Amino acid sequence: MALVLWLLAAAVAYHGVSRAVQFRKLLAQIRHHPGLRLVANLYGAVSFFVPFRIPYIIPGPNFLFKTKHALLARHGLDVVTSVSSHPLRAVFVVADPAILRDMTAARSRFPKPVAIYGTLSLYGPNIVASEHDEWKRYRRICSPSFSERNNRLVWEETVRVMTELFDLWADKDEIVDDDVVTLTVTIALYVISSAGFGQQISWKVGDERPEGYEMSFKDAIYYMSTGVFIKVATPAWLLNLGLTEKMRKTNTAFKELGMHMADMIKKRRESKEKEERFDLLNGLLDANEEEADLKLTDVELMGNIFIFLIAGHETSGHTLCYALALLALYPDEQEKLYQHIRTIQPPGELPRYEDLRNYTYAQDILSETLRMYPSVVGIPKIAADDTVVQTTNAAGETVDVFIPKGADIVFDTPGLHYNPKYWSDPYTFSPERFTRGDWPRDAYLPFSGGARACLGRRFAEIEIIAVLVLMVSRFTIHMEDDARRDSETETQRRDRLLKSSPGLTLTPKGVSLTFRRRK
């Protein structure tokens, strides 16, 4: 027994010494550029699942969003490193606007590490989990779907979904919702179902279950979207065991959503009468037929349709929740939006798509919401070759940063959005900063940038603006009263009420709001 313990101790000591030597070599390779020095990786599974931070060991979940610009300010640089020993890995954390602009433009030199996106290829290869020629092919097929006619459909379907919700609330002057993110994600899900797939489901319709199915399309799309993280994180054999009701429903939804999507593709193709439809699915199928030399397989079509679904509802639903909560926290801004709406929309009438460009303050509120709560807090890239970038330190001096070939890079969106060099009072909610024409566009990256910028940006913006206009024109929005608010700073109260957790995108937790009907 003593010999076994001695051998075990020797093995541990050997590993420690060996890893320490390798760690020092890695620091030398990156020329000792300052930053975090950790045991666990900034983006490793341990950092994601362990719900707390241990200095020098585990950064903790949602680290970049929690620290915002503080990590960069501590080192006086807008490019820092995070070097871990387990695994042995160096990550360059970048929040310098000029460097980010160049990196998003130079796609071949700083490609996306598609391997880490493999979990999103649940139904097949897609535009998010691809790079180089494959990505170009997908983009050429997918881009035409996001047309002006689809934009109008997004607006019209959002108005329909919200009008039906208001009908459900017709006999209430006050609605208390203790889990607003469920409401906003459901709104976004109904909009993407219609404007994305041509399946008009809502609060009242969509429960029909085709023969041979256990779930309607409405249920399949709901349980798959709310359980996608379970599907991604759980091995197939374990999910098939169905140990919990959530696992069983997720597994069934995954299988049947695939069946529903295959049926939709088949029906559209076999339809003898070509309908004039402007949803994303129809646009995707039309573009696919026109590009004979680039034609996608059915598996690739389903992979991209699924990405439209996930990207089209989760990011919109979460951002909308943050926006409504911020309006409740800042009633003066809510009143400004209401008065602005009154100058455009006659009382008692529904907002028109033709007036979309006039709802500028709703756009400003959305832009400020995304600045403070970007959906993706870290955009990963990889260095295809050795490269040197230049940033400046706190003294304004130029600093060369050597990034070796194969090094990981992450665009630090919160670090960029909260940098006082580019945003005055960055921790203050101030939509008016976007009203002025001189706001720093290179320091704003909620939809990524360059050619790989989000295709669905306008889809999401139109949907959220329509919801804000409809909601604020009929209701005032309030946070719960709390005796602690008098002793809290603005930032402390906002952080308490708008708690966020990591997920596929930044996720609001426990947001509780009251909607009171305007008299």
- pLDDT tens digits along 454-469: 899 999 999 999 999 9
- Residue 321, annotated ligand binder? no
Looking at residue 448, its amino acid is: S
Top pLDDT among 470 and 348 is at 470
Mean pLDDT of the chain: 90
What does the pLDDT read at residue 45? 64
What does the pLDDT read at residue 46? 63
Q: Is the pLDDT assigned to residue 486 strictly greater than 70?
A: no
Top pLDDT among 55 and 151 is at 151
- pLDDT band of 495, cuts 50, 70, 90: confident
What does the pLDDT read at residue 272? 66
Sequence-distant (6+) residues with CB within 8 A of 262 are: 298, 302
- pLDDT band of 177, cuts 50, 70, 90: very high
- pLDDT band of 477, cuts 50, 70, 90: very high
What does the pLDDT read at residue 48? 65
How is the chain split among helix, strand and coil, in percent rounded to 5?
55, 15, 35
Q: Are 399 and 75 in contact (CB under 8 A)?
A: no
What does the pLDDT read at residue 58? 86
What does the pLDDT read at residue 294? 81
- pLDDT band of 233, cuts 50, 70, 90: confident
> What number is the average pLDDT over the span 308-315?
83
What would the pLDDT profile of 404-441 be if each residue is shown by its tens digit?
Answer: 999 999 999 999 999 999 999 999 999 999 998 889 99
Q: Are 213 and 256 in contact (CB under 8 A)?
A: yes
DSSP letter for each residue of 182-240: HHHHHHHHHHHHHHHHS----SSS-----TT-SS-HHHHHHHHHHTHHHHHHS-HHHHH
Q: Is the pLDDT assigned to residue 331 strictly greater than 60?
A: yes
Domain boundaries, the chain: 2-124+381-417
DSSP state of 85: E
DSSP state of 110: S
